[in-house]
Structure 1
Amino acid sequence: MNHTNTEKKTKPVAPKIKELIANTKSVMLATVDAEGNPNSSYAPFVQIEQTFYILVSFMARHTKNLSEGRKTSVMFIEDESATKQIYARERLTLEATTSQIARDSETWDNVIVKLKETHGKVVDVISEMGDFILIALQPVKGSYVNGFGSAYFVNSNLEIIEHRNDANHQSK
């Protein structure tokens, strides 16, 4: 029997992916400006369903890039002090689309409550500042690495699609 598999089967979100996100308080951000210049930064986040939300100030370079919907990559990474092997830190890297959440929306209110629960009373102060905006980061696709020989492609729902090592490392 010859089967042609045109669609990759997905597996549920790996428990380790959920655990990595749950143990991470901030997300690393990689953005580009209008001229294509890269910028890296970070922001505290909360996750609601499959969307990540960050409250960021326009005083930061990355905020303009995020608000204008340019290409964005986000990374959740194991703390250096907790890793057993620095070359193989556990990490989830995602391409994401961005959208700004309106201040007068139910989503804004719900996310601000969750940000305050997660990151403390400082959220009350900064969420009232006019230069702070709320950005939704919606995953598109990405990769999850959990050590040497343990790298996977993931989809927008953070489900593992396939093992990716077979195509990447080559012998000398």
Structure 2
Amino acid sequence: MNHTHTQEEAQRQAKPLAPKVKELIARTQSIILATVDAEGTPNSSYAPFVEIDNKFYILVSFMAKHTKNLSEGRKTSMMFIEDESATKQIYARERLTIEATTTQVDRDSETWNQVVGLLKETHGKVVDVISEMKDFILIALHPVKGAYVNGFGSAYFVDENLEIMQHRNETNHQSK
């Protein structure tokens, strides 16, 4: 039996634990965002975040295209990805991609104050300045479903609680 095939099979069957997903999120300071506008034109961007109870919060300005898309509740995807400098294989970077719904948090609500405080604690005093600017709003991203990848042939469906559900593809990559 081919040793490489045996390793690939073992990797595919070794379902990663939810903590692996949480560890990736914990190593990440910003979310890569994909949004669409009213005409369906895609826009990619990023925003620093904090996570509270499986929701991701970002403080964003209407000067950025993605803010209008997020505030109007359009389709959103977010990605957490291993740093390029830390990856062993650029084609197989560890990553978590999540489809999400969005809601805007009311300014000066209890949630606003809690999240802005945590953003300041996590990302520094700049949050004091930008949170006072009227063009900045607080958006909550609510995970719906997603995928976690941690190597070749190691892709898994993830639920709204960021729990690994099942292997994403039972078919291995095919050679020519």
**Among 32, 53, 56, which residue is 1:52 paired with?**
56
Indicate if the aligned counterparts of 1:13 and 1:157 stay in contact, CA closer than 8 A. no
Counterpart amino acid of residue 15 in structure 1: P
Counterpart amino acid of residue 117 in structure 1: E
1:4 corresponds in structure 2 to none
Q: In structure 2, what is the Cα distance between the partners aligned to 1:101 and 1:89?
A: 33
Going by fraction, where is helix more abundant, 1 or 2? 2
Counterpart amino acid of residue 51 in structure 1: K
Structure 2 spans left out of the alignment, 5+ residues: 1-14
1:1-172 alignment runs, 5 A limit: 14-167=18-171, 169-172=173-176
1:165 offset after TM fit, Å? 2.5
Counterpart amino acid of residue 60 in structure 1: A
Indicate if the aligned counterparts of 2:153 and 2:173 stay in contact, CA closer than 8 A. no
1:169 offset after TM fit, Å? 3.5
Indicate if the aligned counterparts of 2:153 and 2:172 stay in contact, CA closer than 8 A. no
Counterpart amino acid of residue 71 in structure 1: K
Deviation readout 1:122-148 (Å, 9 max, x if unpaired)? 000000000000000000000000011
2:6 corresponds in structure 1 to none
Q: In structure 1, what is the Cα distance between the partners aligned to 2:62 and 2:108?
A: 19
Q: In structure 1, what is the Cα distance between the partners aligned to 2:49 and 2:17?
A: 19
Identity %: 81
Counterpart amino acid of residue 45 in structure 2: S
Q: In structure 2, what is the Cα distance between the partners aligned to 1:162 and 1:18?
A: 17
1:164 offset after TM fit, Å? 1.1
Indicate if the aligned counterparts of 1:73 and 1:94 stay in contact, CA closer than 8 A. yes
Query: Over aligned residue pairs, what C-alpha RMSD do you find?
Result: 1.5
Q: In structure 1, what is the Cα distance between the partners aligned to 2:174 and 2:85?
A: 30
Counterpart amino acid of residue 49 in structure 1: D
1:97 offset after TM fit, Å? 0.1
Q: In structure 2, what is the Cα distance between the partners aligned to 1:56 and 1:87?
A: 31
Deviation readout 1:46-69 (Å, 9 max, x if unpaired)? 000110000000000000000000
Q: TM-score, normalised by structure 2?
A: 0.89
